Chains A and B, each alone.
Chain A
């Protein structure tokens, strides 16, 4: 059974059909890419699956159970994590605190014990602080262990978002344009990082415009255009698809 199965998914904003009757499934442990021209509905699709939007129709199954319309915090408990195209870092906190927020559901969140500095709560907190530092090392941010988030560069913040998502110990990780705005060197680093994440057994779904990165990383690719599914398959299949070439890759590709 597929880890994630999307059937006939549609959402309409007024008269705009942002996503129309899209169906696909994602097997566990693969890297799955969603590509398409700007405005094709890629981020909307992510927002639907991660509970930011409620679909107009269709269903989304995680492990065969419907999750469409569930709120993001419920999905977080089911192991769904994501990053954002426009950074969503908490600038009022330090870098490592941002990562620790990712571990929110694994921490003792009791207010009264917090106010009393309950020893067990502090011990668990210290353990997850160490784990957050370990995750920052994993994504290559060890130099920012004591940094404030608002003092970090754009490229570092992109990776901080990935570290925060990993702190959730997700099974399914959605990355929305992880390489957007990065220079070629940083893009290669993120490419390597995503490969490393996938190797730990996390299923990765990414939206990305960098074709080299997509072709290099992805096991399967979904192509969207005007909210509709244009093609789906391996990199080689998609590249040969005449519709994809016409709509997106260009006739000379």
Chain B
């Protein structure tokens, strides 16, 4: 780890503080919120993929669990929205914990397939249980409220999401530079060597999978509460792939790479809107060029080029 692990965090915090002053309208505030939400999810996913070396192609499933917990529990059972967020995270974590043991017996392509299946099954459940979830049409989400005070609109959610992002970056840096984080990186570097020094490999894989699932679920809830409406698209396969792409483009095993990857890939489709109909092609071309010229991802490549750590 570098000598100043928090330097980038201070920079990001400063940018987040000043951003509302320069953003011209609510379209950009909305974009910033989406970037930050994705950044938190990608941070959790990068702990799993980049640091621990385990793939998940089904993370949108966990986002869906959080989002639909926030929509369905208050609507059908009158739960407080905050309690629903916690319940969603616990459910996502529990599902991850139960499935992780059989899943992590698998490696490589098989692990990818198993997590892919998990994501798709979640999506199918959400689409078909229309009585609870509104089916393909989605459902409205009761707003987060404390007494008569409702958390709605861009500004409050901007500050909530910005704080969550800073906390997640801080916690991720701390985890990576701790015995827990070293064990994760060690089982990625050499699984047999980490076993021999006493790392309970399965337990660590399960823990990081559960943790990243909970990150995803909480941010799924936040998305639902902020937008006020959920649709099954939130939990679909393409969303999972998009998140993995953010990890890879930003840089596997890079905290700040996760943030950069999320920011760029959230902004890119907007920036490419002028290409009308061709934006998917341009989007794909940019991703391919990135991988050809920066296979380690943006932040690690740039850090190496300018001769210093992150």
Contacts and interface: CB of A to CB of B under 8 A. Distances in A.
Contacts of B195: 52, 71-73
A194 B197 CA distance: 19
Contacts of A125: 178-179
A107 interface: yes
A111 B211 contact: yes
Contacts of A72: 192, 195-196, 198
Contacts of B180: 109-111, 114
Interface string A92-115: 110001101110110111110011
B198 A89 contact: no
A77 interface: yes
B178 to A, nearest CB: 3
A203 to B, nearest CB: 17
Interface stretch (B181-189, B219-227, B263-271): B181-189
Interface residues of A, number: 38
B193 interface: yes
A108 B175 CA distance: 12
A108 B179 CA distance: 7
A73 B199 contact: yes
Interface string B249-282: 0000100000000000000000000000000000
Given A71-B195, A72-B195, A88-B192, A100 B182 contact: yes
Given A102-B197, A116-B174, A92 B181 contact: no
Nearest to B252: A92
B48 to A, nearest CB: 13
Contacts of A90: 185-186, 188-190, 193-194
Contacts of B193: 84, 88-90, 101, 164
A168 B179 contact: no
B174 A105 contact: no
Contact of A84 (B171, B182, B192, B207): B192
Contacts of A110: 180
Contacts of A98: 186
Contacts of A93: 182, 185-186, 189
A198 interface: no
A114 B197 contact: no
Contacts of B211: 111
Contact of A164 (B183, B188, B197, B201): B197
Contact of B175 (A82, A91, A107, A111): A111
Contacts of A92: 185, 188-189, 253
B255 to A, nearest CB: 13
Nearest to B192: A88
Interface in B146-175: 171, 174-175
B101 interface: no
Given A88-B192, A90-B190, A109-B183, A76 B197 contact: yes
A89 B196 CA distance: 12
Residue of B175, B183, B190, B196 with most partner-chain A CB within 10 A: B196
A75 B211 CA distance: 28
A89 B200 CA distance: 18
A81 interface: yes
Residue of A93, A98, A104 with most partner-chain B CB within 10 A: A104
Nearest to B176: A114
Nearest to B183: A104
Interface string A53-82: 000000000000000000111001100011
A12 B189 CA distance: 29
A237 to B, nearest CB: 32
Contacts of B192: 52, 72, 84, 88
The 7 closest A-B pairs by CB, nearest first: A90-B189, A76-B198, A114-B178, A88-B193, A107-B179, A105-B198, A115-B171
26 contacts: A72-B195, A73-B195, A73-B199, A76-B196, A81-B196, A84-B192, A90-B186, A90-B193, A97-B182, A101-B182, A101-B183, A101-B193, A104-B199, A105-B198, A107-B179, A109-B179, A110-B180, A114-B174, A115-B174, A115-B175, A116-B171, A121-B178, A125-B179, A164-B193, A165-B197, A167-B197
Given A82-B196, A100-B179, A101-B194, 16 more contacts: A76-B197, A88-B190, A89-B189, A90-B185, A92-B188, A92-B253, A97-B182, A104-B183, A104-B186, A104-B198, A105-B198, A109-B180, A111-B175, A115-B171, A121-B179, A125-B178
